[in-house]
Chain A
Amino acid sequence: MSAPKKYLVTLGKGGPTPIALSFDGHGAWKAVADELEMSIGLESVEGDIVKVTVDGRPLTLRVVTGPDGEVRMEKVQSQRTGGVPVRVRSEGEVILGSRAVAPAPDADPVLVAPITGVILAVEVAVGDTVTQGQPMLVLEAMKMETILSAPRDGIVKTVNVVVQDRVRTADILVELE
């Protein structure tokens, strides 16, 4: 008997149920959910039709994966309903897929000149609310216009340049609150 591997199974709108699966080495799996214990045998997989036995009783299921990765399952014998969404995550996937530690803090609230050049346009004023990536200044350097965008969300606290100013690499051009 292999060591049980733990999964969280969510059916429809229910909460996740922990299920431990172990392989008996003879073609059957033992599934333990809460106090319930079942022996499951996989008979065949043909297309989306999966035939299993549960404690010896045959069960035929249709398992369909949607384009968004959602898996739906229904009994073939029952009336077709489109199935119930099924979500299965191994315990390892849940542990590795959740952030262990809070993400690193956002970027500094200052916009610095990435390259020496001349300011061609100023598109924000003190007090403006900006979102990350929003263009704030246009700088000309190496015969090319460079658009300088907000490093993070915020409110403009100071604008240290006007059009035609010459700026040097690392000069602070705009500060956010």
Chain B
Amino acid sequence: MSVTHDPSAPSPQPAASARPNEAEIAAVGEARRISVARARLEALFDPGTFDEIGDRVLHRSTLFGMEKKQIPGDGVITGVGTVDGRTVYAFAQDRTVLGGSLGEAHALKIARLQDMALAAGAPFVGINDSGGARIQEGVEALGGYGEIFMRNVRSSGQIPQISVICGPCAGGAVYSPALTDFVFMVDGSSYMFLTGPKVVKTVTFEDVTVEELGGGRTHSEKTGVSHFLYPTDLEALAGVRKLLSFLPSNWKEKPPVMEGPDATDRLCPEVLEVFPESSRTPYDVRGIIDNVFDRSTFLEVHKGWAQNIVVGFARLAGRSVGVVANQPLEQAGCLDINASRKGARFIRTCNAYGIPIISIVDVPGFLPGCDQEHQGVINHGAKLLYAYCEATVPKLAVITRKSYGGAYIVMSSKHVGGDVNLAWPTAQIAVMGAKGAVEVLFRRKLAGEADPEAAALEAERHYEETFLTPDQATGRGFVDAVIEPAETRRKLARFLLRTETKNTARPERKHGNIPT
């Protein structure tokens, strides 16, 4: 098979027709029981490019009769190949060999591969399907996990690390995926937890299924541990290929540029069909994203979790960009603990790998309430603020509607290092909305009026004229330009191309101390 794959050609998304049909599934029959680990690696890599390393490695355990259970490779396939022509290192655990359990030799195969990937400056993909630590090996198995974790952290921010969970991933095993940049899960056949349902039952008397405790939907909707959820292994692995197309091979390189058929100077009047006239009416911000960025390039990250903020990768003028957008459809688009965590994590990932960040701002503020305050929204909100302040990649923003209070400052404002901040004529930038502001500013004065309600309305109107426009912000230079919504794509693309050479010196220090 040819390896002269065109790296500029993105991996196609698997069409529904790529799915196997009933007759094919029936014809495969018994073969379903064979090792799927190798099939997974074949699905990940360009055809014929995978070279295995260490297929004859043996464990050296002699306890509990293990000397009689020697299977070359020790339950994990490790090696290197190409994805869209670019080098990627990967392992796949094989549950048909000793349950895919992780012993010393199995772990050191993975650790050695991690060292090779880091040295080569190439992405690392782990396909997890393992019963856990190999009990017969005792502390050697535990030490094996530690060797992997240590390398996950050492590689963090240097090479993209992606974990795919295709089966069980329990106990200590969960921490390697948690330390990597992205986690993929498969609906119905993968799960992750620290302690399983049996132990949970004996300790807390809770009856819970594997799926409820740590299935793909739990981690994609409730916990945010999983970034992507797919119905089958085949689609998950195609998703990994697509994600890799947005990422550089390592932090010193640029992501591949893939200029498509979508003209950079195209006007996008369609955004106004999505955007409602009333500032009280919700809309799906993805309708704006789809029309502003290169068509059909948006890959949403954390789609099911903290839906009040939308994050994901897209292309603009063929360049890989990170999109962060408030979502008025969910919880009025307020920032809360989970939205802040989701946004912060995504921004730090983009910054680590040199991907510019484009923010689409329509945010009424942080979500009020005891629940949020007592769970520490101060610290969690500060993570998002920290991430924006820290990011040195080009940061562009468009304020479409509301940008109030602390949320205005956080969302890529000029004050926290925004490079180019644009606003639609409908932008409202203020400390708070009119009603609340008038109550604070004019409470005493209004009480003395003959008709307090009429006076309050008049005061609100005056406040709206003063603040609920972009004018005060443009006057101070906090918004660089007011643009027509239809120009959004063209303007963002041009400013992106003119800021992509940005080079910001970073202060010397060991590392910053992000709030937790």
**B208 sits at the interface (CB 8 A):** no
Partner of A169, one of B34, B232, B371: B371
**A10 sits at the interface (CB 8 A):** yes
**Which residue of chain B has the shortest Cβ distance to A144 in the bound complex?**
B332
**A6 sits at the interface (CB 8 A):** yes
Bound state CA distance, A145 and B334, in angstroms? 12
**Which residue of chain B has the shortest Cβ distance to A98 in the bound complex?**
B25
Q: Is the CB of A93 within 8 A of B189?
A: no
Task: Choose the segment among B15-23, B171-179, B252-260, B453-461 that binds chain A (4+ C-beta atoms closer than 8 Å).
Answer: B15-23
Q: Is the CB of B188 within 8 A of A102?
A: yes
Bound state CA distance, A68 and B195, in angstroms? 45
**A143 sits at the interface (CB 8 A):** yes
**A56 sits at the interface (CB 8 A):** no
Q: Could you say which residues of chain B place their CB within 8 Å of the CB of A169?
A: 369, 371
A residues 12-42 in Cβ contact with B at 8 Å: 15-16, 18
Q: Could you say which residues of chain B place their CB within 8 Å of the CB of A1?
A: none
B residues 1-49 in Cβ contact with A at 8 Å: 15, 17-20, 23-25, 27-28, 31-32, 34, 36, 38-40, 42-43
Q: Is the CB of A94 within 8 A of B280?
A: no
Bound state CA distance, A159 and B25, in angstroms? 45
Q: Is the CB of B282 within 8 A of A104?
A: no
Task: Sort chain B's interface into a size bin.
Answer: 35 or more
Q: Is the CB of B27 within 8 A of A93?
A: no
Q: Could you say which residues of chain B place their CB within 8 Å of the CB of A15?
A: 23, 27
Task: Choose the segment among B106-114, B210-218, B478-486 that binds chain A (4+ C-beta atoms closer than 8 Å).
Answer: B210-218
Interface string of A127-157 (1 = CB under 8 A from B): 0000000000000111111110000000000
**B237 sits at the interface (CB 8 A):** yes
Q: Is the CB of A10 within 8 A of B23?
A: yes
B251 nearest CB across to chain A (Å): 31
Most chain-A Cβ atoms within 10 A of its Cβ — which of B36, B279, B282, B332? B332
Task: Sort chain A's interface into a size bin.
Answer: 35 or more
Q: Is the CB of A96 within 8 A of B36?
A: yes
Q: Could you say which residues of chain A place their CB within 8 Å of the CB of B215?
A: 104
Q: Could you say which residues of chain A place their CB within 8 Å of the CB of B369?
A: 116, 169
Partner of A98, one of B216, B232, B332: B232
**B470 sits at the interface (CB 8 A):** no
Q: Is the CB of B15 within 8 A of A100?
A: no
B452 nearest CB across to chain A (Å): 21
**B356 sits at the interface (CB 8 A):** no
**B381 sits at the interface (CB 8 A):** no
Q: Is the CB of B188 within 8 A of A94?
A: no
Q: Is the CB of A96 within 8 A of B24?
A: no
B residues 32-81 in Cβ contact with A at 8 Å: 32, 34, 36, 38-40, 42-43
Q: Is the CB of B18 within 8 A of A142?
A: no
Task: Choose the segment among A47-55, A74-82, A84-92 that binds chain B (4+ C-beta atoms closer than 8 Å).
Answer: A84-92
Q: Is the CB of B18 within 8 A of A69?
A: yes
Q: Is the CB of A96 within 8 A of B27?
A: no
Q: Could you say which residues of chain A place their CB within 8 Å of the CB of B216?
A: 104
Bound state CA distance, A15 and B232, in angstroms? 23
Q: Could you say which residues of chain B place their CB within 8 Å of the CB of A46?
A: none
Given contacts A92-B36, A143-B433, contact A115 B371 (CB under 8 A): no
Given contacts A96-B234, A101-B188, A143-B280, contact A10 B24 (CB under 8 A): yes
A62 nearest CB across to chain B (Å): 21
Partner of B234, one of A10, A97, A114: A97
Interface residues of A (CB under 8 A from B): 6, 8, 10, 15-16, 18, 68-70, 89-105, 114-116, 140-147, 169
> Top 6 A-B pairs ranked by shortest CB distance?
A92-B39, A144-B332, A142-B332, A97-B234, A96-B233, A94-B20
Additional A-B contact list (10), CB under 8 Å, known A99-B189, A169-B369: A16-B24, A16-B27, A68-B17, A92-B42, A94-B25, A97-B234, A102-B188, A104-B216, A140-B280, A144-B332
